[in-house]
Structure 1
Amino acid sequence: MSKTTASEPSLDDSVAQKSPEDTDVEQGPSTEKPEVTAPESISPYHPSQFPDGGRDAWLCLLGSACCLFCSFGWLNCVGVFQAYYQTHQLSNHSPSTIAWISSLEIFVMFFPGPIVGFFYDNHGPKYNLMFGTFFHVFGVMMTSLCTEYWQFILAQGICSPLGLNCIFNAATSTITTWFFKKRGAAFGLMAAGSGLGGVILPIMTTHLIEDVGFGWTMRICAFLILALLGVALLTVKSRLPPTPRAFKPRVFWEPFTDTRFNLLTFAAFLFFMGLFIPFNFIELQALAGGMSTRLATYLLSMLNAASILGRIIPGILADKVGRFNMQVFMSFFSGILVLTFGLLASSNAAFILYAVFYGFASGAFVGIAPAQIAYISKVEQIGVRMGMMFSVVSFAGLIGNPVAGTITGFNGISIFAGVMLVAGAAMFTFLRMYVAEWKFLVRI
């Protein structure tokens, strides 16, 4: 496990030590003065120094929610594009081939995380947000002009998610500098932005495609994203100054010397393998089960609407019962839902319940996982560690949907997704026990 050196401040830093005692001096009866003790300085990383509120903190939270709306919220509507491309521009390609667009989008969003995190630690969030805004908006604009498979790969699969990575990292890393006691709730409220994006964007794109066509639909989405990221550029700022470090390979290797980080990354990898499969296939599964096209297009929005509560409520509860405890419960809940509703749903009501419950259960992961990283890391390490974890996890996002697309039948797809989610939940349980030093009744 990594050790904290004396020169590196951490969340557990105590009040700085007093200066050494002054040497004795000659004191005359008429010149004696009471000794004046200099006020003790407190590290800005000390838990008592986190405001957990105030105008700047809440504005930063608002801007971070806008970032999540435009990043994870955009990813949450991948199912709309999967279904649309299969019947329009890419109808001559297999579902598995089309699924590589969304999977590549997930992969590219997270894989450069270590570099983006290192840049954040050295320069703060502003440059990341500017870079991310340009690439995300440009990629979505270029997607509006695409007609060939390779064009969708370049614009939607590579260019846009390069920006998503910077946007997501800037938001999640900055919030940790403002909140400590209320960090779970703050992450939940921030992550609710992605759920809101997942509600609005699928409905918006579905209706706009019918009214103005695919090209202008994507352009309108790009303008909306640009406006929200403009709010983020004005409000997202760190409470702490950047901590520049020389670019050395050991900076990126350091997280893997911490067993807790390794266990968290492995658990997240397994869970991520199955996380987006219901997002990508629930609409197609419902259509195959007899649901009308009109109603099926709302399933993804229902799922994401429920995920708003799934991000906020577990985040608030995590501050009360422990972030690791809550992650264990919600991840098992997600896996069990897929292995029950995903296999047994055959009516409109069943598919709607499946979407709502899975949205609520799976939504907790996005908000709680960064809070878990913050718990086991020093503040100045969070950017790189966040990036390293999601970089590893990106490989799960890359292969999850295409593997599911090669499986024959929706029952097989649900079994694969459910098993991956339960396996991740089991590893989250092992991680929780390890961090709690094998104690059961501990809030952690």
Structure 2
Amino acid sequence: MPEGPSDINNTTVQTETGDEKPAEASKWTVVTAAGAVLFIGVGYTNTFGVFSNYYQTHLLAGDPPEKIILIGSVASSLYFILGAFTGRFADLVGYRVSLILGAALMVVALFTASVSTTFWQLFMSQGLTFGLGLAFVYMPTTTISRQYFGARMHGLANGIIISGGALGGCVLPYCVDLMMAKYGLAKTFRILGYIAIGVLVPSIFFLKPRASQDSRTRRGQVFDVELLKNKRFLWLLAACTIAMIGFLPRYFLISSSAEAKGIGSTYASWLLGLMNGLSIIGRIGIGYLSDRLGKGTALTLSFLLCGIGHVVFWLPAVSLQDENTETAIALFTLFVVFVGVLGSGFISLFPVVVADMFGSENLASKTGLLNTAVGFGTLAGPSAVYAIIGSGLHRKWMAGVLTAGLLMLVGGILLSAMSAPWNKIRRRTGAESV
């Protein structure tokens, strides 16, 4: 479509039809701002492994680990579980309102956690309230790129946005560990609260939905459940939910499983940060590949490679005898490198695949339906695997790791069974493959 003249100071370019196309600077400003929001939201939840170790040895030493882990599980899964509601909320009332509400809840959660001293107080603040806040910001930040980028670059743009959370998960665990050692738990939470304010306020200012897109979505029922009648969507939902049950355990258990095999606590914590850091490459890379190989194909490969990493590297690592520390270090390191680069990118592809298969109108609502089902799997995964592993001196690490890996593989196989016929249909119609 021919473009009319543009002003270098404008953030949009006028087309002959009267629609406005966002300028390049405006596009990437939105991507940066969305990534910054997830740096705080997802990044903070990805640091829970550090908090968990502190709680088990200090503040909540009398509570069992499987109970303490619920704090992190709730914070890390609510933004998926509530997706059907928060996605529709963002579509109906506007992205900006949803972002402001979510940011306020996250900040309140951090300052409330700073005065919490019991499990239930931390569960309500660090777990429930922060998770609610993240739920309200997650859907707008992960779907807004579709308004600025066409289908051809949607995967790359969303991969960069989602990598903001991975960057937070890479940097923040070390910062939190140092701050707790120097300042204590309460002051650490307050510092995190001030950092959140400094990042979220300017980011939300720059996260401006395109006016024409925002107004088109503010109609319809409170809950749009039409997709639940679509067999392809139900198949996608089942595959992603099964895979995501096996997704989160590694983030909570990689450090403790490494320490159980004689690896020092410093290196064990470093493994978590390395895995988060490398997932930045993985999420941007899988987004780029999805724009070329097909969205569903990229998602399938990511599930399968993640499961393979569990079986090939993590499973042998936890099966070693305690005296094989050097071999354990090598296998644990290979695992986090493999899954970080090749098996962590699927998080960025959910909105991309949904938009490609079912259209981009009301994308937050559509992706939210998928995320809600996936969220229950994400919530159940860590506790289920922890229950399999058990506690005490006779932990069944092999059974837990194998369970997580097989779930990822099953999800990938189910998705490949759906993607193959769908790609044939797309090729016949001359459209891009999923």
Alignment equivalent of 2:402, drawn from 415, 425, 431: 415
Counterpart secondary structure, 1:242? helix
Residue in structure 1 matched with residue 363 of structure 2 by the alignment: 382
CA distance 1:255–1:292, shift in 2 (3 Å): same
Match of 2:323 in 1: none
Q: More deviation in 281-290 or 296-305?
A: 296-305
The match for 2:203 is 232
Relative to structure 1, the CA distance from residue 294 to residue 256 in structure 2 (aligned partners, 3 Å threshold; closer, same or farther) is same
Check conservation: 2:314, 2:331, Cα contact below 8 A: no
- Picking from 414, 418, 422, the partner of 1:435 is 422
Cα separation, partners in 2 of 1:319 and 1:407, compared to 1, 3 Å: same
Mapping of 1:39-438 within 5 angstroms?
54-180=24-150, 181-239=152-210, 240-243=213-216, 245=218, 248=221, 251-345=223-317, 346=320, 347-408=328-389, 409-437=396-424
Q: Which SS does the other structure have where 1:290 is aligned? A: coil
2:208 match: secondary structure: coil
Contact 1:66 1:231 in 2 (8 A): no
Cα distance in structure 2, aligned partners of 1:184 and 1:109:
21
Secondary structure class of the residue paired with 2:61: coil
Structure with greater helix percent? 2
Identify if the C-alpha distance between structure 1 residues 434 and 381 changes in structure 2 by more than 3 Å, giving closer, same or farther.
farther
Letter of the 1:262 counterpart: L
* Cα distance in 2, alignment partners of residues 324 and 338 from structure 1: 22
Residue pair 1:50, 1:177 contacting (<8 A) in 2 also: no
Consecutive unaligned residues of structure 2, counting only runs of 5 or more, are 3-14, 321-327, 390-395
Shift of 1:438: 6.8
Paired with 1:292 and 1:382, the residues of 2 have a C-alpha distance of 45
State the shift of 1:255 in Å.
Answer: 1.7
Match for 1:390: what amino acid?
N
Task: Give distance in 2, aligned partners of 1:103 and 1:42.
Answer: 48
TM-score (normalizing by structure 1)? 0.85
Q: Which runs of 5+ in 1 are unaligned?
A: 1-13, 16-39
Letter of the 1:422 counterpart: L
The CA deviation at 1:71 is 2.1
Name the TM-score, length of structure 2 as normaliser.
Answer: 0.87
d(CA) in 1 for partners of 2:45, 2:343: 14
Letter in 1 for 2:86: V
* Distance (whole Å) between structure 1 residues aligned to residue 205 and residue 197 of structure 2: 13
Question: Match of 1:23?
Answer: none
- In structure 2, the residue matched to 1:28 is none
Contact 1:124 1:241 in 2 (8 A): yes
1:140 Cα deviation from its structure 2 partner: 1.6
Contact 2:286 2:346 in 1 (8 A): no
Q: Deviations over 1:82-104 (max 9, x none)?
A: 22222121221222111211222
Q: Which residue of 2 aligns with 1:10?
A: none
Task: State how far apart, in whole Å, the 1-side matches of 2:334 and 2:26 are.
Answer: 39
Per-residue CA deviations over 1:331-380 (Å, capped at 9, x if unaligned) read 11100111121111252222122122222233211111211011123322
Q: Distance in 1 between matches of 2:330 and 2:377?
A: 31
C-alpha displacement of 1:194: 1.1
**1:16-39 deviations in whole A, cap 9, x for unaligned?**
xxxxxxxxxxxxxxxxxxxxxxxx
Q: Alpha-carbon deviations, 1:362-402, whole Å to 9, x = none?
A: 32111112110111233222011111111111111121111
Cα deviation 1:153-176 (Å, max 9, x = unaligned): 111121111110111111112111
Contact 2:350 2:367 in 1 (8 A): no
> Quick one: distance in 1 between partners of 2:426 and 2:34?
35
Rounded to whole Å, the distance in 1 between the matches of 2:271 and 2:94 is 38
